[in-house]
Structure 1
Amino acid sequence: MLYALWWAGLAAVPVNAKLHPEELAYITEHAGAGLLFVTPDHAADAARLPVRQVTVDTPEYEALFTGAPLELTPRAPDDLAWLFYTSGTTGRPKGVMQTHRNLRTMVACYFAEVDAVSPDDVSVYAAPMSHGAGIYNFMYVLRGARHVIPRSGGFDPAELAGLARDLGGLCLFAAPTMVRRLVGHLESQGLGGEGFKTIVYGGGPMYDADLRRALEVMGERFVQIYGQGESPMCITVLPREEIADRTHPHWAARLASVGHAQAWVEVQVAGPDGKARAPGEVGEVLVRGESVMRGYWRDPEATAYALRGGWLHTGDLGALDEDGYLTLHDRSKDVIISGGSNIYPREVEEALLRHPGVQEVSVVGQPDPEWGEIVVAFVVAPGVGASELDQLCLNHIARFKRPKHYHFVGALPKNNYGQVLKTELRTRLRAPRPEEA
């Protein structure tokens, strides 16, 4: 369907099937969508939307395959191809205008830096196809590889293990939380990485302990990418050889990084004045190249701000080392300023995850009249006490960085792409739930 749309000269607007009807309504209206394809199980909700709809597996849908062939509509490289709506971790999602040039650059970067795809590969879509997993289909279509949509319709570690056993050559995109769960399942079953070829991970922080465990269980199969919707899957890469090379003198530092700039992409770390930071100094990550979006749909003000000075301002904070490897610290909006000191949530999260009983953690700042902000940790850790975690922090990070409060929860709130919704956690702090202690 996607390729037919492009053949006809149209642009695609991918949406996650798990979105609430109100979220879907906002996207279709904001995008000005003229046609919506829906599956039968979503037809009732979609029927409320003021847009023409075609339901899959109906006579109207089947007629699309039996009618007269469409004539090819010529397109230019900078024409809109893919209108991707950001996940909306803060406020309304923005429509990122990705052009054919952007997507071609992403494909070229993948072949050059991530993996050499062959017809024997099997691309498995275990994450939402409206996001990273789906946008990676282009490389596998181009090489004539096989495509598998799991029967579960999503991520199931046992199902993936079975596919690896039965098919071999599995390639997939996974969020770090998915990698952690997959590795845990394989380890519990006495299995390794057999049948898996490439696991590209990104979309959130991969904690050091999780990656080391994944390497021990599955071996040299992991590639890290760092990207955004505004530069799709295409900012930096940490190749599998470098992830697995324990003999390199800077292996530990590189494992903690997100790699170096991908081909055809420039990366710079800059201060508030826009000037490049020296190696090791933290600043905002800026990106320039043919992967960078045309802008935000119907939002010229946000476009001008994001692309000021000819660079994409990612909103992420990081530092480049002398070899050009980028280490991310946090989103600029997530940095906690307590008593005049900057505290990066990720380093606190890394310390807490050293505890074997901690499954997940997210650290946020809470307004405080004395300190400006204080550090608060939301932790998924059944049977673990605050005193244990406090001592762990004191053993590994500066005293002023340790959380002042711990909230033990059954799960962390996430969006449809597995990213923790820190905005919701901050909202909880303003109106604490009685079950959290």
Structure 2
Amino acid sequence: MNLADWLVRTARLMPNAPALLHGARTVATYSEWADRAARIGRGLREAYGVAPGDRVALFMANSIDYLEVLYAIWFVGAVAVPINHKLHGREAAYIVSDSGARLVLVSGDERDAAAAFQNAATVLSVESGRYRELCRYEPLSAPHAQASDSLAWLFYTSGTTGSPKGVMLSVQNLQAMSFAYFVDVDEVRPEDAALYAAPMSHGAGLYNFMHVARGARHCVPESGGFDAAEILALAETVGSLSMFAAPTMVRRLIQQARAVGHSGDGIRTIVYGGGPMYVADIEAAVEQFGPRFVQIYGQGETPMTITALSRALVADRAHPRWRDRLGSVGVAQSCVDVRIAGPTGETLPPGETGEILVRGPSVMDGYWNRPDATAETLRDGWLWTGDMGAMDEDGFVTLKDRSKDVIISGGTNIYPREVEEVLLRHDAVHGASVIGRPSAEWGEDVVAFVVITADKSPSVDELDAFCREQIARFKRPKHYVFVSALPKNNYGKVLKTELRRQLDADACL
């Protein structure tokens, strides 16, 4: 099947049901959405030569257009390549080039994007007249027929080397994720509304499938992102909102709710994940809003589908180990097997820490054009996540240190090597090592330990400006620690454990 078949089916069964909302205003029914996607799909094929299997990149902010374009891409049998809109142009250009995207759809000025992508692909702005012309094409009669193992979503994530890798997700991967949502996370009803306050290029965008399948509404805030006051207002006007939120977003929403005396009315479900949630924060959230929270743990390689902590378990205070469970990421979702393994792949007993392994139909087919990385990550049918954790006797998984040293800030992964490589390009930086520091606001902050080249004395502002020119703003260090040397072992590897100890002991930060 084609993922667009779900949209077509719902449009036939519920043609007049409200589908796309900009803020509280309905801008399209399901029949209108399906019609526009079919027209744009034909336009992509005839005007831009997009064929089945071609990659089409989306470097776009959250918008109604994003949802229309996604389904237009699938209508023609092509592959969506979502790119975080906050990335630096150079970072986005790498993804466009590596994926071999034929076309890049962007928000804003086409000329700026074309320059950033160095003309590696055709660029089309969804705000342009050329894009609006696509809606005048005759609609495709049906989505392109596809096998279930056809590539549908090519999501770029970075590994320990800092080099982005394309995670290949097939139609059946996304089907399995969607079915597991209904079993393990939440039911969806036609009167519900998916709220896209987190980037649609990531997990929030993937949750569209469940709501399309059930004929629910899709609401993009007028701000295009997360604004706590706006969300509480939409809860009152739109009602029955469900949203994916990083822990920092949950924290801000609760702070705003406390300030205005909001009890969560109009919010059906908040699925939180993408970073560490402090137990005290989720306790406060449940106290303010009641049992509206579900935690999920996943990664790009098995999207949203490793473990889940149901709303009943999040709200439970009767179990003797409720606090331990609240500090976990829950139990294995229904579509996967999860186990904790030692270095050679042996299953460890309950309570012991090892690497989290996953297998099941939601696990990726591999990395795009990266057979070595695929072979390292997928072994004997198991996905080696790179995350360290322990599983108790009841199956609850608690995350420990991440073996890949990923920093998660505001729900977004930041890979130290990327930041280190940028810093080392500065002629005043002799050495650099980046780690994360716990942050009540963001989950983690980026901290850079820097060794200065002799006879140089760069300021923090200078290094910050240099980073802003090279990488996305959210990746740049929030703090700098200038040191004479980086601690290393006998093999020359930087001992980040020592840096963490130094950071903990440093009262100046």
- TM-score between the two structures when normalised by the length of structure 2: 0.68
| Match of residue 274 from structure 2 | 203
**Residue 97 of structure 2, aligned match among 11, 25, 29:** 29
Q: Does 1:115 align with 2:183?
A: no
Give the deviation of 1:87 after TM superposition.
5.5
Please give the alpha-carbon distance, in whole angstroms, between the structure 2 residues aligned to 1:272 and 1:111.
Answer: 34
Show the counterpart of 2:216.
145
Q: How many residues align?
A: 370
Q: 1:279 to 1:182 in 2, by over 3 A?
A: same
- 1:122-178 alpha-carbon deviations (Å, 9 max, x no partner): 111101100011111111111111111111111100000111111210110000010
Q: After the TM superposition, which residues 24-173 of structure 1 pair with which residues of structure 2 at under 5 Å, given as runs?
A: 24-39=92-107, 41-48=108-115, 49=117, 50=119, 51-70=121-140, 72-86=143-157, 91-173=162-244
Task: Report matched runs for 1:168-247 at 5 Å.
Answer: 168-247=239-318
Offset from partner CA, 1:296-337 (integer Å, 9 cap, x none):
1111100000002221000000001111110001201449xx
Q: Report the TM-score, using the length of structure 1 for normalisation.
A: 0.78
Give CA deviations for 1:333-356 in whole Å, capped at 9, x if unaligned.
449xxxxxxxxx99x95xx96xxx
Deviation by residue 1:83-103 (Cα, 9 ceiling, x = unmatched): 001156851221100000100
Q: Which residue of 1 aligns with 2:10?
A: none
Matching residue of 1:329: 400
Partner SS, residue 222 of structure 2: coil
Separation (CA, whole Å) in 1 of partners of 2:79 and 2:484: 42
**Structure 1 CA distance for aligned equivalents of residues 447 and 88 of structure 2:** 26
Q: Which runs of 5+ in 2 are unaligned?
A: 1-68, 407-434, 451-467, 486-507
Alpha-carbon distance in structure 2 between the residues aligned to 1:58 and 1:365: 41
Extract structure 1 runs of 4+ deviating beyond 6 A: 363-367, 415-418
Give how far 1:185 is off: 0.8
Question: How far does the alpha carbon of each residue in 1:274-313 deviate from its partner, in whole angstroms, 9 at most, with x for none?
Answer: 1000000000000000000000111110000000222100
Q: Which amino acid aligns with 1:309?
A: D
Q: Which residue of 2 aligns with 1:8?
A: 76
Query: Does structure 2 retain, via aligned residues, the 8 Å contact 1:176–1:202?
Result: yes
Alpha-carbon contact 1:31-1:95 (below 8 Å) kept = yes
CA drift at 1:425: 7.2
- CA deviations 1:213-234 (Å, max 9, x no partner) are 1111111000000000000011
Structure 1 gap ranges (5+): 336-344, 368-412
CA–CA distance in structure 2, aligned partners of residues 7 and 154 of structure 1? 27
Helix, strand or coil at the partner of 2:400: strand
Aligned AA (2:389): G
| CA contact 2:204–2:244 (8 Å) conserved in 1 | yes
Q: Cα 1:172–1:431, aligned 2, differ >3 Å: closer, same or farther? A: farther
Q: Once the two structures are aligned, what percentage of the paired residues are identical?
A: 53
Q: 1:73 to 1:333 in 2, by over 3 A?
A: closer
Aligned-residue CA RMSD (Å): 2.9
8 Å contact 2:272–2:296 — kept in the other structure?
yes
Secondary structure, counterpart of 2:184 in structure 1: helix
The verdict on how the C-alpha distance between 1:9 and 1:261 changes in structure 2, with shifts beyond 3 A counting, is: same
